[in-house]
A and B are shown apart, each in its own frame.
Chain A
Amino acid sequence: MAGRTSKDGTYVPEGIADEFTQGEPAQGASAQRAPSSGDKEQRPNRPAAPTLGLVGTLRWMWRQLTSMRVALMLLMLLAVAAVPGSVLPQRNQDAAAVIEYLADHPTAGEWLDRAGFFDVYTSVWFSAIYILLFVSLIGCILPRSMAHYRALRGRPPRVPSRFNRFPAKAFATTDASPEEVADAIATRLRGKISWLPTFRVDRGEEPARGARGASGRSEPASTGPERPPGQPSATVSAERGYLRETGNLVFHLALVGLLVSVATGQLLHYRGQAIVTEGRGFANAVVDYDTFEKGAWFRPESLVPFSMTLDRFVSEFASDTVAFAQARDFTAHVTVTEPSGEQRPEIVKVNHPLVVDGAKIYLQGNGFAPDITVRDAEGEVAFSGRVTFIPQDTMYTSRGVVKVPDVAPGLDQIGLVGYFLPTAEVEPDGSARSAFPQPVDPLLVLEVYTGDLGLDEGAPQNVYELDTASLTPAVEESGERVKVLARPGETVDLPDGLGTLTLGEELPRYVALDLRHDPSLGFVLAFSLLALGGLTVSLFTPRRRVWARAYVAQDGATVVEVAGLARGDDAGLQAEVDRALAAVPGAVERPEEADVSAEASAAARRQAREPRVETGSEED
């Protein structure tokens, strides 16, 4: 197994330095720090053996993969690998930009494309990094979880024989008996909430000290108060912060859960886009969408067959000078018809998707779809319908195409391409643009082409583009293209006697709807929040150990000693120790001892840097 399991049962991954920091004397120290034997274990990747063998090599590789150093390297690699996806255009976001880039950089583009730089986040190398990272994470976290599960049922470490080396300590005397003192401290440490104690506490008794221990007290300055032989003492050993490791594990496991939910969602999801004009509707069926994409495990049965009608679309734009024509509100009023036949009015807004039968409907775009009727030279209706004009700028200068293939036999087919301007501003040179997004002074400006539209060959065409390569434009005598202008309700003649064009009085709006169903959303959210919670708990829960000992001194008063130890730097440790001491009834703090302890702790810090030799217990 990767890493090592320290003697107190805590799993420690390769390369992690996360012990209780300051020197823990006596028994605790030998178990935690394990100076001599531990050193070898800490560096197992020394070029130890030419005779590793297959199993050995695999084990070595696994240890490497689950080590902290490799996790660190993979994290940095992941950060670096994510960069090109923001610099280069990506297919799933802007396929047109990729095509443009490939055209501009033929050589580099081709190589970048081969290496997956236009699909960075689904590329082999990006996936390899995060999959390795997650394997490393699981390999590290699972054994740690099991070790933590065992540790959760463990008891706090025994009271050390001497407190003088601890970074935080306090001494006091009192009239209360040692048992009362120890009980008071234990109660304070457990905290007020009985089902969630702050500290896990063990109350204990120590037998009377032997003569050997007493002789160990002769060291100057670094000793605690004199403890007479022949006096038993009451002890408290307590540990808090099990939740820190719990939070850490929850965070990492939640990340695994997040990855699995996202992947599941990718497999099960579907997404469809539909353009709907006012008064019309669509049904939730694959064939009714303009575009439809789905995951590998998608089944058509997951489309609930509801239908929806767009009753009205309302937009608002700012008209003040500061933010002229900035969008302020888009609202689509719709009627949803459930499969049961039940109907209800609903609203779809930007930022407020409509949820119907587990599918979310988003308002992604809007524009004008004016009614256009074209009659051919013989006066027959050759085309009649709503034409979607796609906005090209913030003023809704919108581009659209009308294809009229159904002219009377013998006549040329007609193609119309041009702009719809909600508020037309015609320049003296004849060019026109829109000056406001709302239909204040609408105008349709179209160029006319004749010839074979190529629709009869059956090849699929973009309905928003007119391939003018094989078409003849209608021109004035001066050679300029003819522009047909029409206002709502007007019927205008097409050039060259091609017929007439009528723009409807009403200007129906259209909305571009995006319908999406992803059954994993709830899980994705739950695991994200779980990760956030785990992270918070793991970063802000202090890990502390507190010990206390109370005994009757020679002068008859009860002496109380409290000491604390923390994992990592912990500014609140001394306060914790002081709080514990404050629980002692009738306590009189002994400042002279505190002074001694301050100096002793400085000495302890100096000593902590040096290899600890003395690990034996004086008491046993």
Chain B
Amino acid sequence: MELANLSVLLVWGAATALAVALVAFAVDLSRLSGAKVDARDATRSRDKVAVGAGGPVDASADAPADAPAAAAGPVNRRLAGVGMSVTWLAAALLLIAIVLRGIAAGRTPWANMYEFALVGTFVAVAVFAGVNTRRDVRFLGAFVTGISVLFLVLAQQQFFVAATGVQPALQKYWLVIHVGVAICATGIFTVAFVTSVLQLLRDGRDNGSVMLGSRHWGWLDHTLTPSALESLSFRLNSVAFVLWTFTLIGGAIWAEDAWGRYWGWDPKEVWTFIPWVVYAAYLHARTTRGWSGTRAAWFVVAGYACVLFNFTGVNLIFNGKHSYSGL
């Protein structure tokens, strides 16, 4: 029991660390917004004049590449660095919390909704931090840490169950594989979702959206271009999609042994199938003339909504074969 309590404390610690990281990342973004002297902004103000004069909207996407990138000098991004360090700390705390939870329960620590939320959050944070070691995606930080804090607090407040063993239907190595892979997929989908939302916002700003054109959204100019965001989102989504496909197949293999059929349109199965189809549609949309880019990004948003509903709604609303362990 002491280990279990320690695990809970560590989760609160991780949530606190993520909240600190969230503040650091947010302040960093607002600083970026303030740094307004930028080739892009120069182009934009020119456009605004043109619009005001009733002229045609000139797409600003082709800002002259030879303009100085930041005439006002580099923005101080130390806070983003602080945010990254605290994010790593949070990931470490969460990992220890998960391991302790597993030891306390004497089994794999992802057998109920609470544990699923912990591990899923850990994967999202770890994927974000991992991608950041290869390229600068600190602009994602505020959103990934924000969602993670939300998940962790929600898990502690609403989904918490005491650490204990599981009933016979869950006692199989497939619990490790099937649920573990599903959690990884969910975590990666989360980061990809954030990337796609940024892509949509940036795209809206670049295309002269009135709301997104304001100074408050200036930080969007310091993210990647819409096409770079699209390509990052696609890479994450394709990894997660393969994992999700494996979740479906692994689940079917397990269901064949546990329930005597590999597929029975149980609510959880339906809501695993639906995001799979939506993400499959996304992959098709990317290569369909007229549907790539912004439209494809909306599929990611829809797909992630389905993933979230699969995780929350199906467990809480429907009564299916996946309704184990209270939550």
Are A and B physically bound partners?
yes
Given contacts A72-B291, A85-B265, A516-B260, A540 and B252 within 8 Å (CB-CB) = no
- Which stretch (A335-343, A464-472, A476-484, A530-538) binds chain B? A530-538
Tell me the complex Cα distance, A237–B77, Å.
45
Q: Which chain A residues (71-85) contact chain B, with CB distance < 8 Å?
A: 71-72, 75-76, 78-79, 82-83, 85
Let me know if A42 is at the binding interface, CB within 8 A.
yes
User: Once the chains bind, are A68 and B172 in contact (CB under 8 Å)?
Assistant: no
Let me know if B30 is at the binding interface, CB within 8 A.
no
B-side contacts of A353, CB under 8 Å: 257, 260
Let me know if A330 is at the binding interface, CB within 8 A.
yes
B-side contacts of A330, CB under 8 Å: 168
B-side contacts of A525, CB under 8 Å: 253
Can you name the residue of chain A whose Cβ is closest to the Cβ of B313? A86
User: Once the chains bind, are B278 and A79 in contact (CB under 8 Å)?
Assistant: yes
B-side contacts of A318, CB under 8 Å: 164-165
Proximity string of chain A (532-558) to chain B, C-beta cutoff 8 Å, 1 when within and 0 when not: 100110011000000000000000000
User: Once the chains bind, are A322 and B266 in contact (CB under 8 Å)?
Assistant: no
Determine which of A69, A71, A75, A351 lies in contact with B258 in the assembled complex, contact meaning CB atoms within 8 Å: A351
User: Once the chains bind, are A362 and B227 in contact (CB under 8 Å)?
Assistant: no
Let me know if B323 is at the binding interface, CB within 8 A.
no
Let me know if B262 is at the binding interface, CB within 8 A.
yes
Determine which of A83, A86, A323, A350 lies in contact with B169 in the assembled complex, contact meaning CB atoms within 8 Å: A350
B-side contacts of A82, CB under 8 Å: 270, 273-274, 277
User: Once the chains bind, are B246 and A532 in contact (CB under 8 Å)?
Assistant: yes
Tell me the complex Cα distance, A352–B283, Å.
37
A-side contacts of B291, CB under 8 Å: 68-69, 72
Let me know if B139 is at the binding interface, CB within 8 A.
no
User: Once the chains bind, are A75 and B281 in contact (CB under 8 Å)?
Assistant: yes
User: Once the chains bind, are B280 and A350 in contact (CB under 8 Å)?
Assistant: no
User: Once the chains bind, are B164 and A322 in contact (CB under 8 Å)?
Assistant: yes
B-side contacts of A69, CB under 8 Å: 288, 290-291
Proximity string of chain B (254-271) to chain A, C-beta cutoff 8 Å, 1 when within and 0 when not: 101111111111110011
Can you name the residue of chain B whose Cβ is closest to the Cβ of A17? B289
Determine which of B270, B278, B292 lies in contact with A17 in the assembled complex, contact meaning CB atoms within 8 Å: B292
* Number of chain A residues close to chain B: CB under 8 A: 59
User: Once the chains bind, are B271 and A86 in contact (CB under 8 Å)?
Assistant: yes
Can you name the residue of chain B whose Cβ is closest to the Cβ of A513? B260
User: Once the chains bind, are A68 and B277 in contact (CB under 8 Å)?
Assistant: no
User: Once the chains bind, are A16 and B314 in contact (CB under 8 Å)?
Assistant: no
User: Once the chains bind, are A535 and B260 in contact (CB under 8 Å)?
Assistant: no
B-side contacts of A596, CB under 8 Å: none
Determine which of B167, B238, B265, B289 lies in contact with A328 in the assembled complex, contact meaning CB atoms within 8 Å: B167
* Number of chain B residues close to chain A: CB under 8 A: 56
A-side contacts of B261, CB under 8 Å: 516
User: Once the chains bind, are A364 and B162 in contact (CB under 8 Å)?
Assistant: no
Let me know if A288 is at the binding interface, CB within 8 A.
no
User: Once the chains bind, are B318 and A327 in contact (CB under 8 Å)?
Assistant: no
A-side contacts of B163, CB under 8 Å: 322
Tell me the complex Cα distance, A525–B262, Å.
10
Point out which of B172, B227, B277, B318 has the most chain A C-beta atoms below 10 A from its C-beta. B277
CB distance from A544 to the nearest CB of B (A): 16
CB distance from B309 to the nearest CB of A (A): 10
Proximity string of chain B (165-178) to chain A, C-beta cutoff 8 Å, 1 when within and 0 when not: 10111011000000
User: Once the chains bind, are A326 and B62 in contact (CB under 8 Å)?
Assistant: no
CB distance from A264 to the nearest CB of B (A): 14
Let me know if B57 is at the binding interface, CB within 8 A.
no
User: Once the chains bind, are B165 and A323 in contact (CB under 8 Å)?
Assistant: yes
Tell me the complex Cα distance, A606–B284, Å.
27
Can you name the residue of chain B whose Cβ is closest to the Cβ of A73? B281
Determine which of A75, A76, A532 lies in contact with B245 in the assembled complex, contact meaning CB atoms within 8 Å: A532
Let me know if B287 is at the binding interface, CB within 8 A.
yes
User: Once the chains bind, are B257 and A75 in contact (CB under 8 Å)?
Assistant: no
A-side contacts of B290, CB under 8 Å: 15, 69
B-side contacts of A90, CB under 8 Å: 265
Given contacts A16-B287, A18-B287, A93-B265, A351 and B231 within 8 Å (CB-CB) = no
CB distance from A454 to the nearest CB of B (A): 34
User: Once the chains bind, are B242 and A93 in contact (CB under 8 Å)?
Assistant: no
CB distance from A189 to the nearest CB of B (A): 24
B-side contacts of A327, CB under 8 Å: 167-168
CB distance from A180 to the nearest CB of B (A): 36
Tell me the complex Cα distance, A320–B164, Å.
10
A-side contacts of B288, CB under 8 Å: 15-17, 68-69, 72
B-side contacts of A221, CB under 8 Å: none
B-side contacts of A79, CB under 8 Å: 274, 277-278, 281, 306
Proximity string of chain B (144-182) to chain A, C-beta cutoff 8 Å, 1 when within and 0 when not: 000000000000000000111101110110000000000
Let me know if A529 is at the binding interface, CB within 8 A.
yes
Let me know if B89 is at the binding interface, CB within 8 A.
no
Tell me the complex Cα distance, A606–B62, Å.
8
User: Once the chains bind, are A539 and B164 in contact (CB under 8 Å)?
Assistant: no
CB distance from A122 to the nearest CB of B (A): 10
Let me know if A263 is at the binding interface, CB within 8 A.
no
B-side contacts of A362, CB under 8 Å: 259-260
Let me know if A376 is at the binding interface, CB within 8 A.
no
User: Once the chains bind, are B242 and A328 in contact (CB under 8 Å)?
Assistant: no
CB distance from A452 to the nearest CB of B (A): 39
Let me know if A441 is at the binding interface, CB within 8 A.
no
B-side contacts of A606, CB under 8 Å: 62
User: Once the chains bind, are A602 and B242 in contact (CB under 8 Å)?
Assistant: no
Let me know if A110 is at the binding interface, CB within 8 A.
no
Let me know if B249 is at the binding interface, CB within 8 A.
yes
User: Once the chains bind, are B292 and A351 in contact (CB under 8 Å)?
Assistant: no
Tell me the complex Cα distance, A532–B253, Å.
14
Tell me the complex Cα distance, A78–B284, Å.
14
A-side contacts of B242, CB under 8 Å: 532, 535-536, 539
User: Once the chains bind, are B245 and A531 in contact (CB under 8 Å)?
Assistant: yes
CB distance from A250 to the nearest CB of B (A): 13
Tell me the complex Cα distance, A353–B264, Å.
18
User: Once the chains bind, are B260 and A514 in contact (CB under 8 Å)?
Assistant: yes
Let me know if A440 is at the binding interface, CB within 8 A.
no
Can you name the residue of chain B whose Cβ is closest to the Cβ of A273? B260
Given contacts A15-B289, A69-B288, A323 and B164 within 8 Å (CB-CB) = yes
B-side contacts of A92, CB under 8 Å: 264-265
User: Once the chains bind, are A360 and B277 in contact (CB under 8 Å)?
Assistant: no
B-side contacts of A307, CB under 8 Å: none
Pull 30 A–B residue pairs with CB atoms less than 8 Å apart, ordered by A. A16-B287, A18-B287, A68-B284, A68-B288, A68-B291, A69-B290, A72-B291, A75-B278, A75-B280, A75-B284, A76-B281, A82-B273, A83-B274, A86-B271, A86-B318, A93-B264, A323-B165, A329-B168, A351-B171, A352-B257, A353-B260, A362-B260, A364-B260, A521-B262, A528-B249, A535-B245, A536-B242, A539-B241, A569-B230, A606-B62
Given contacts A69-B291, A93-B266, A351-B172, 15 further A-B contacts (CB under 8 A): A17-B287, A68-B288, A68-B289, A72-B284, A75-B277, A75-B278, A76-B277, A86-B314, A86-B318, A87-B318, A93-B265, A329-B171, A364-B260, A521-B256, A532-B246
User: A-B pairs with the 10 shortest C-beta distances?
Assistant: A350-B168, A75-B281, A323-B164, A569-B231, A68-B288, A86-B270, A362-B260, A86-B267, A79-B277, A539-B238
